[in-house]
Structure 1
Amino acid sequence: MTLTHGTDPSGLSEVVLPTAEQLRLAALHRFAIIDTPPEPQFDHLVQLAVRVFDMPMALITFVGEDRQWFKATHGLAMSQTPRSESFCSVAIAQDGVTVIPDATQHEQFRTYPNVLGEPHIRSYAGAPLVTPEGQKIGTFCVIGTEPREFSEKEQVLLASFAQMAMAELKWRQALLELGHVAMNDALTGLPNRVQFRQHLTEACRRADVSGEKVVVGLLDLDRFKLINDTFGHAEGDQLLKDVAHRLKEAVGISDVVARMSGDEFVLLLTDVPSVADIALVTKRLQDAFAVPFVISGQEVFVHWSLGLSVYPDDARELDALLGHADAAMYRVKRAGGGYASFQRQEDQRTTLQVERLTALHRALEQDELQLYFQPVVHAESQAVVAHEALLRWIRPSGMVSPLDFIPLAETSGLIVPIGRWVLRQAVDAVKTGQLQRVSVNVSALEIRQVDFAEHLRRVLTESGVEPQRIWLELTESSMLEPRFAAVLHELNMLGVRTALDDFGNGYSSLTALTNLPIQLVKIDRSFTAPIGEDTPAGKRALEVMRGIMTLVRALGIPTVAEGIETPKQADLLLKVGCTYFQGYLFGRPEPLSKHAEPSGPRPTLSTEVRNPAYGD
């Protein structure tokens, strides 16, 4: 709140405290409600009010500086009125419910245009909408075209409607605040990985139309841990803010800078005519970091490693695009820093890639692919309730990282036969009684196959495994493609459970939660990793998790927190309401032969759609 200043007779400046009206308007502004589209929760309240009070009109109104705006209306064909002609602006100045039995007989209201003309208001009753701080920002009112008295009981009931409207308003504000937290990095204010993926999706769609390139750059600060250890976490956090500022200044207006986690940032360069134009941005980045940062009075030069990938040249799938940039960045970091394009690296390694792709074609027939399983445990009892199937490629020369071969399988189309092999192997593990239930990751390319659901049905029929014992983990980006909605509902009808994987690491988590048939939410490890650290980042991460749990619990969906590595993380996440845990603390991914069959009574799957869970 901006304070006003005046001058006393002695000539000294004096502070003038905000007026009551300024405080009221500030409270109204915090809700960000005026001029928003209709919302059903408010519309339902006014529809109910006209039936309860047997009145032709009911409104939820907010009184601004010079106008009264209607959030919800029934029976009145207008959206606002001047404040000078507003019944509600008078009602908010009163205590309790304001009742006008006959406006034509009221000295102040009888000359109002809406009394003399349409809608010919005669009777009015309005209960103020009061904030927790006591500010009256609007009213819940009912209006009639005939004179009408309101009993004390009716006034109490109208006040209850106003309280319900305020409860909806406060819940709406909480969701907006949670959405902001979920979409932005708390430390730097930059978009986080959730919002970044949204921007990336839109940029790729535009590029498909324009024919231009989209460049993704993963930037990691070199030896940042040394800065934290030398100067402390507070100075380290300030440096990250300063880095964020310089990165934003170095890129174009239409480009995006986001913070992924820790000291890792991601750049989205849009509308790039050709790959050669990337050099202009990298030159600006080099110039931006040529000036030293000042930490505790000392000048410090910060160096970085940057990996670049190009859409659609390097990949069309978003996860593969990010994976390529990540791989390029780590190659640069091992070489001592700087930057490199994934495509340039690929040009130098064509022979290796061709050899690896050929070997991947033969991996199935040569029994080089193997499933590892990681347990999922109940948060309270820590009993194993399920296992996630994780694919490993073990060649004679050693194990190949999934970060290297999964993108290759996706871009080549091999992910389809490999995914079907994984699905059958996982179902067989349940059929033989080695596992109680299993979850399988499914790529967007697999779901695009027209016979995906039919293939799954055939595998289940042949094995005799109950569909409820199989979980399919899908990413947000694949779930939100409109053409997949029918497939998801078909899977749901089949009885197979669907889990939203890596929650917070996709296009639009809230949309996926509310619109799709999801029975489980798996929270991305980037949210859990800082939890338990006695740092501002660790505390913020815990509060974000608390907000996520509040939202997901309200929708009746259980959660799995991934990446749990310490007892402290488990204890804190249990307290904020997480349902299940997965991570090294409870077991690393291992071949099936190393997993002992769980002892004790076998949990049963819940069949209630409103409260699905791995088991009770």
Structure 2
Amino acid sequence: MSHGPIKSGGVTLINATGSDDPADNPVGYTEQLRLAALRRYGILDTPQESQFDHLVELAVRVFDSPMAQISFVDEDRQWFKANHGLPFSEAPRSESFCSVAIVQDDVMVIPDTTQHEHFRSYPTVLGEPYIRFYAGAPLVTPEGQKLGTFCILGTEPREFSDQEQALLASFADMTMAELKLRQALHDLSHLAMNDTLTGLPNRVQFRQQLTEACRRADITGEKVVVGLLDLDRFKPINETFGHAEGDGLLAAVARRLQEATATSDVVARMGGDEFVLLLTDIRSVADIAVVTQRLKDTFTQPFLVSNQEVFVHWSLGFSVYPDDALELDALLSHADAAMDRVKRAGGGHAAFQRQEDEQTDLPVERLTALHRALERHELQLYFQPVVHAATQAVVAHEALLRWIRPAGIVSPLDFILLAETSGLIVPIGRWVLRQAVDAVKTRRVKRVSVNVSALEIRQPDFVEHLRWVLAESRVEPRRLLLELTESSLLEPRFAAVLHDVHTLGVRTALDDFGTGYNSLVVLASLPVQVVKIDRSFTAPIGKDTPAGKRALEVVRGIVTLANAFDLPSVAEGIETPEQAQLLRTVGCAYFQGYLFGRPEPLSLSADPSNHLPDRSLRVRGTAGG
């Protein structure tokens, strides 16, 4: 083997030496870096993807060439991500034009392969498909690593002008742009399914895994156990040592939970200091006892926080499928109720939730009171401002429902689920819609967003009622924004409803973006016009911790994705000036959070300062806005 560059016909061929020492073998070391970069993109051996196929088909027409490929050069092979005209999907690297092209600085052109001392012996030159012409532009990462080429080939010798070379280089740039977007979408999908602090599955992924585990249990007849675990007295740790150390402790707790459970079990983080366990292959209570004992043993050892020993205690509540419940939400509610009993008893041990405890989840008194809440005028709308990121001018308000009983305010976390499970969310939701639109009509706000549940959209007259409210109030439809969660947007039958809403001129927003696995599908296929970034992504931002830095990069990816669809983004949960400044740097268009205003009831008089400029919150497919 030659150990130096081979020059032939204006093309330099470089072969690496056999040394492993980067000082002795800079070419070999560079190749290691290049292959590492290729692995990071995760592109090799992936299925066809239309965005790459379209680029190749376009190149065939533009260059009037019978063959074109997007080619990636692996350690010992050339693999085609997109291929037009060649009857194979990969080839040995030793017979690859592209493996030579990637060591060139510019587009490599071989006008006539039969006249080239190196290439004329290639099998594809001597036999089918009888390649006579080659031009390849390197696919270069931002760090300068060359992953492969965008190449065109022909069966006749051909000259290739400087203008054509520049155009081919543009195709390579477009390919890299698609590749970087693909990686961003993949990373975003991963981050949407995993907790940024601990790396554990998050709530969304856990629900998917729980659904699949219950489906398997229906076939095998085994049990599925859900365990909800909450750390006792965790708040003083944050207050004593700071949030950065508290985050480090949560990550250490996550590792211990994983160590104490079987590889077939799942440990997920629900948020805050709350974790959830999914135990499968359970045949008896004794199997669960083994797990709980391992957990107790694991936590007998202290954690080290700021060089101080800290002992962590927890409360754990279990529920069993199918014994306690068949529905996922009910199963989690039972485990939550069991955990609450443990906490009230002092914590530190596990308990089961049984069917006879079900009445604690749906108190008769509270349900009766909720039935009467409207007629007793106990429901009230609070409004939280949305501000322009650059100017901090108030541009809109979100309407938030509050239940104010004589004994005090009831948390929405306590009564919204109750309203949905009882069906009361439909009349309550219609009352909220009318009140919110009335706030626009009376000029107390100029634009308003309203949260809408899936149960409301399921009503056959949902669109008709929306049309009636707008007509009766004479409020411009573009002043109203409906916020919908991914679960409601993805039901196939809702697509027609959303298109009807869009036809009315009412805008729709994807609320809590990033927490669902199919958020990207929603953006691509449905008339969503605003993206709201969930507070779980923005909360860690501003902290000088790995979690804070990762969260900022996640939001950067979300904003990039939203911009690709020409959608404005609203970051929720902004509480500090540091968060606002960092989110401005990644391109968030609008902010919402305590830093700019807490939810409050509106006064009866109009407030011109609340008016939204016509240019604000622009959305695709609408006039003005």
Q: Scaled by the length of structure 1, what TM-score is found?
A: 0.85
1:480 positional shift: 2.0
Aligned to 2:12: none
SS at match of 1:577: coil
In structure 2, do the counterparts of structure 1 residues 546 and 140 end up closer, same or farther at CA, with 3 Å as the change threshold? closer
Question: For residues 338 and 456 of structure 1, do their structure 2 counterparts lie closer, same or farther at Cα, with a shift above 3 Å needed?
Answer: farther
Is this contact kept in 1: 2:385–2:397, CA < 8 A? yes
Secondary structure of the structure 2 residue equivalent to 1:290:
coil
Q: Match for residue 477 of structure 1? A: 487
Aligned to 1:289: 299
2:568 paired with 1:558: yes
In the alignment, structure 1 residue 503 sits paired with structure 2 residue 520:
no
Mean Cα deviation higher: 148-157 or 548-557: 148-157
Match of 2:620 among 585, 605, 610: 610
Which moved further from structure 2: 53-62 or 515-524?
A: 515-524
- Does structure 2 retain, via aligned residues, the 8 Å contact 1:129–1:165? yes
The residue aligned with 1:184 is 194
Partner Cα separation in structure 1 for residue 320 and residue 103 of structure 2: 60
Provide TM-score, normalisation by structure 2.
0.84
* In 2: Cα distance, 1:593 partner to 1:31 partner: 54
CA distances 1:174-224 after superposition (whole Å, capped 9, x unpaired)? 443444444433442223345445545655666788887765544332233
Q: From 43, 50, 63, give the equivalent of 2:53.
A: 43
Alignment correspondent of 2:175: 165
2:465 to 433, 439, 455: 455
What's the offset of the Cα at 1:234?
6.0
1:154 paired with 2:164, answer: yes
**Residue 404 of structure 1: SS of its match in structure 2?**
helix
Contact 1:61-1:140 within 8 A present in 2 as well: yes
CA separation of 1:305 and 1:598: change in aligned 2, threshold 3 A: farther
Aligned match of 1:242: 252
Whether 1:517 and 2:500 are equivalent positions in the alignment is: no
Alpha-carbon separation, structure 1, partners of 2:575 and 2:224: 36
Structure 1 residues 169 and 564 mapped into 2: Cα distance closer, same or farther (>3 Å)?
Answer: closer
2:275 is the alignment partner of 1:265: yes
Q: How do 1:339-488 residues align onto structure 2 when only pairs under 5 Å count? A: 343-344=353-354, 347=357, 350=360, 353-488=363-498
Identical aligned pairs, as a percentage? 76
- Tell which deviates more after alignment, 422-431 or 471-480: 422-431
Unaligned runs of 5+ in 1: 8-13
C-alpha separation in 2, matches of 1:205 and 1:515? 29
Native 8 Å contact 2:78 2:93 kept in 1: yes
SS of the residue corresponding to residue 608 of structure 2 reads: coil
Correspondence 1:51-200 to 2 at 5 A: 51-94=61-104, 96-200=106-210
Alpha-carbon distance, 1:476 to partner: 1.6
CA distance in 2: counterparts of 1:578 and 1:613, whole angstroms: 22
Distance 2:595 2:352 in 1: 35
Measure, in 1, the Cα distance between the counterparts of 2:602 and 2:234. 39
Q: Report the AA paired with residue 62 of structure 1.
A: F
Corresponding residue for residue 10 of structure 1 = none
* Residue type at the aligned position of 1:91: A
Range that drifts further, 414-423 or 151-160: 151-160
Rounded to whole Å, the distance in 2 between the matches of 1:439 and 1:277 is 49
Aligned partner of 2:499 in structure 1 is 489
Give the direction of change, closer, same or farther, for the CA distance of 1:424–1:278 in structure 2 (3 Å limit): farther
Q: State how far apart, in whole Å, the 2-side matches of 1:575 and 1:595 are.
A: 36
Q: Deviations over 1:349-372 (max 9, x none)?
A: 559712222222232333332222
SS of 2:493's equivalent in the other structure is helix
Structure 1 counterpart of 2:468, one-letter code: R
Question: Displacement of 1:536 after TM fit?
Answer: 4.3
Distance in 2 (alpha carbons) for counterparts of 1:93 and 1:183: 38
Conservation of the 8 A alpha-carbon contact between 1:469 and 1:605:
no
Q: 1:9-45 CA distances to partner (integer Å, 9 max, x unpaired)? A: xxxxx99885443333223222221111222332222
User: Alignment length, in residue pairs?
Assistant: 605
Mapped partners of 2:244, 2:593: distance in 1: 29
Distance, in Å, in 1 between the alignment partners of 2:148 and 2:219 is 46
Query: Deviations 1:86-136 (Å, cap 9, x if unpaired)?
Result: 232333345543333333454544444333443232222223333344443
Q: Structure 1 pair 412/205, CA: closer, same or farther in 2 (3 Å)?
A: farther
Q: Which runs of 5+ in 2 are unaligned?
A: 1-17
Q: State how far apart, in whole Å, the 2-side matches of 1:88 and 1:153 are.
A: 21
Secondary structure of 2:432's partner? helix
